[in-house]
Amino acid sequence: MSGNLFIVTAPSGAGKTTLVRLLLENDASVGVSISHTTRPPRPGEENGREYHFIDVPDFLERIDRKEFLEWAKVHGNYYGTSRRWIEAEMAPDRDVLLEIDWQGARQVRQAFPQATGIFVLPPSMAILGARLSGRGTDSEEVIARRIDAAQDEMRHVDEFDYVIINDSLKQAVLDLQTIIKAARLRCANQRERHGSLFASLL
């Protein structure tokens, strides 16, 4: 059996990185993919921790070599998920979570139709803008571009299975944990996990 595959998508600033970080503090059985990107590192980001930071020619060569399960251009930079990493990580009772945009989510769903799509919404546009400014990691110009792009991203909310509104962080983390728990309790997963019980009862 392979673990579950979760896709978490949100407009920049909605809080998905924060949510996923808090999830991981209490759940060791989820592996989060570290994407490749051509975006420059933000202050405090480390190569190989938040992202693998590479240049555009390197990224384009990796596309040619079909190294990405999915890739997309987001806010003017390339982002992609390593196919090899996913294949190595998807093991029994080991779940995988991808933090990617809606374009990447579509590509992953084609390869893995059973993937669970989760969309994170901010409580309002005003709060989204305030969070982007408050994060203090992007220039005014980058923030303006991300706010414009947020509405385009949010138009794809109906392509996802679940929606989390990240107002109270505590509630939003609980919501994410609940979705993951529910996926783990799907009949097919339970049958695999408790094979002998199923065999003895049915």
Q: Does 24 sit near ligand ADP (CB under 6 A)?
A: no
| Helix, strand, coil percentages, rounded to 5, for the chain | 50, 20, 30
Q: Find which of ligand ADP, ligand 5GP, none residue 72 binds, CB within 5 to 8 Å per kind.
A: ligand 5GP
The tokens for 147 are 């706010």
Give me the amino acid identity at 134. G
Q: Hey, how many other C-beta atoms are within 10 angstroms of the C-beta on 197?
A: 11
Identify what 62 binds: ligand 5GP, ligand ADP, none; CB under 5 to 8 Å per kind. Answer: none
Under the binding rule (CB under 6 A), the answer on residue 15 touching ligand ADP is yes
Instruction: Tell me the CA end-to-end span of the chain in Å, nearest whole number.
Output: 20
**Is residue 72 a contact residue for ligand 5GP (CB under 6 A)?**
yes
User: Which of 19, 65, 59 has the alpha carbon at shortest distance from 35?
Assistant: 59
Extract long-range pairs of 64-71: CB within 8 Å, 24+ residues apart.
Answer: 68/36, 69/107, 69/108, 69/111, 70/100, 70/103, 70/104, 70/107, 70/108, 70/111, 71/104, 71/107
Among 35, 38, 116, 166, binds ligand 5GP (CB under 6 A): 35
Site mask for ligand ADP (CB under 6 A), range 138-167, x = bound: ----------------------------x-
By the rule CB under 6 A, 103 interacts with ligand 5GP: yes
**In angstroms, what is the minimal distance from the CB of 14 to ligand 5GP?**
9
Q: Binds 117, which of ligand 5GP, ligand ADP, none (CB < 5 to 8 A, cut-off by type)? A: none
Binding-site ranges for ligand 5GP (CB under 6 A): 12, 35, 39, 70, 72, 74-75, 79-81, 99-101, 103-104
